Structure 1
Amino acid sequence: MIVITSVLREEILGAFRELLPVLENGEILKRPYMRGLIGANEVLLVYGLIGKVESAMMAQVLIDKFNPKYLIHCGSAGAINEKRKIGDIVCGTKYVEHDIGFREKTVSSFKASDVLVERIYDIYNDTIFGIIASGDSFINSKEEKERIYKETQAEIVDMDSAAIAKVCAENGIEFCSLKIVVDKGLESSEIEIKSNFKRLAPFPSAIIAEMLQKHLL
């Protein structure tokens, strides 16, 4: 089984549209899930993983209940690397937490699944590969953005990927996070998110759905 997660419903729509047939609708920890097929793959979709604590909690419960081979997290993020622009698709190759006193030699990073990274590149070769930094804070200042980039060299920042990556690593589950840039982490971030989110949010999960249509994992 492959579990696909997201923070908000809009971020999982790209995969939900390809979930045929739907075999089951249910609820886990008050979050809705849908189980079905994408291509020849059995897939479970669930959203509502907000922040590091909820993301880690949900990841562990999903692993305990469904024992997936792969867990893929999709959604939106803010740019940290100045080279990144609105609409860029970023696949995390490593995941770090930026809000726990980052020190390169003492803070763990968690590696993405080589299989998932290769399959994603096969589907969308404009994907940008690099580090995703996660923390329980909304980044909307140049100073904070520059600090995080200096400490982590991350391409983008979110509130969830590193927590899920950590849980997956502890459980031996292959993981990958695929995100789309919807803001640049500056003072105008809220305006950018309102302008870009609904339009761009479904794209990462649509890429994953296309990957599952083409490949049996």
Structure 2
Amino acid sequence: MIVITSVLKDEIIGAFRELLPVLQNGEILKRPFTRGLIGTNEVVLSYGFIGKVEAAMMAQALIDKFQPKYFIHCGSAGALNPERKIGEIICGTEYIEHDIYSRDMKCSKITASQSLVERICDVYDNIILGPITSGDVFVESEKEKEKIYNETLAEIVDMDSAAIAKVCYENGVEFCALKIIIDTSKEETRIEYQRNIKKLAPFPSAIVAEMLEKHLL
């Protein structure tokens, strides 16, 4: 069993398009889920949570109900590394909570599933590998962006991946997040977000669906 999640429906639609047949529709913690097949893999798709608390809450509920071996989180994020550009796709190799992070906290990073990372890169070679950092803040200033990047050296920032990674780690579930950059995390972030969310957000989940069509996990 593989669980695939996103914050918004737009971010998971790429996987929904390849889900056939649909075996079950339902709700979990008042959020929708759909169970079905992608290739020969049984998957559960769910979305509809914002921030670390809701992300962790949903991750634990989905793990408790479906007991997946793999958990993949898809969606969008803001750039932190000044070399990163809108439209680039990042596969997280480490997950860091920047709002509680200290370099002295040796257990503050969670490592991604190597098997998931390898399989994702096998179907789409134009992927950047690197850390993803998360926190309960919408980064939209050059000063805050530089601060978080200097502290974490993460490629991108979101509000959910590190929380889900922590829950998966504690439950022994293999985890990976795949994100596309839709804003630069600076003063124009809200304009960039509105401009790019619908046209770019589905790509990571479409890549995950292609990976599941090719590989039996």
Is 2:209 the partner of 1:212? no
CA deviations 1:55-101 (Å, max 9, x no partner) are 0011011111100000000000000000100000000000000111x
Structure 1 match to 2:129: 129
Q: Which residue identity is paired with 1:174?
A: E
Letter in 2 for 1:22: V
- Give the corresponding residue for 2:103: 104
2:64 alignment counterpart: 64
Q: Deviations 1:103-139 (Å, cap 9, x if unpaired)?
A: 1121510000000000011011110000000000000
1:187 partner letter: E
| Contact 2:102–2:108 under 8 Å retained in 1 | no
1:104 maps to a residue whose letter is R
Question: For the Cα contact (< 8 Å) 1:35–1:44, is it kept in 2?
Answer: yes
In 1, Cα distance between equivalents of 2:113 and 2:89: 17
Q: SS where residue 133 of structure 2 aligns? A: strand
Q: In structure 2, what residue type is equivalent to 1:47?
A: Y
What is aligned with 1:150?
Answer: 150
Question: Which AA in structure 1 matches 2:27?
Answer: E
Q: Which residue number corresponds to residue 175 of structure 1?
A: 175
SS of the aligned residue for 1:185 comes to coil
Which residue of the partner structure matches residue 4 of structure 1?
Answer: 4
Shift of 1:50: 1.1
Secondary structure, counterpart of 1:72 in structure 2: strand
Q: Which residue of 1 aligns with 2:77?
A: 77
4+ runs of 1 displaced by more than 6 Å? none
| 2:33 counterpart SS class | strand
Whole-angstrom distance in 2 between the partners of 1:38 and 1:103 = 40
TM-score by length of 1: 0.99
Percent of pairs with identical residues: 69
- 1:48 offset after TM fit, Å? 1.0
**Amino acid paired to 1:211:** M
Give how far 1:36 is off: 0.3
Matched length? 216
- The gaps in structure 1 that reach 5 residues or longer are none
TM-score, normalised via structure 2 length:
0.99
Asked if the contact 1:5–1:49 (Cα under 8 Å) also holds between the matched residues in 2, the reply is: no
Amino acid at match of 1:95: Y
> Aligned residue for 1:32?
32
Q: Which residue of the partner structure matches residue 53 of structure 2?
A: 53
The one-letter code matched in structure 2 to 1:177 is A
- Distance between the aligned counterparts of 2:176 and 2:21, measured in 1? 25
- For residue 94 of structure 2, what is the aligned residue in structure 1? 94
| Distance in structure 2 (CA, Å) of the matches to 1:202 and 1:47 | 13
For 1:9-64, what per-residue CA distance to the aligned partner results, in whole angstroms no more than 9, with x for missing partners?
00000000000000100000000000000000000000012100000011011111
Aligned-pair distance for 1:149? 0.4
- CA distance in structure 2 between the aligned counterparts of 1:13 and 1:180, rounded to whole angstroms: 14
Output the CA distance in 1 between the equivalents of 2:49 and 2:190.
20
Q: Distance in 2 between matches of 1:23 and 1:64?
A: 19
Matched, 1:14 2:14: yes
- Alpha-carbon deviations, 1:124-166, whole Å to 9, x = none? 1110000000000000000000000000000000000000000
> CA separation in 1, counterparts of 2:86 and 2:108?
29
> How many angstroms does 1:183 deviate by?
0.1
- 5+ residue gaps, structure 2, are none
* Residue aligning to 1:114: 114
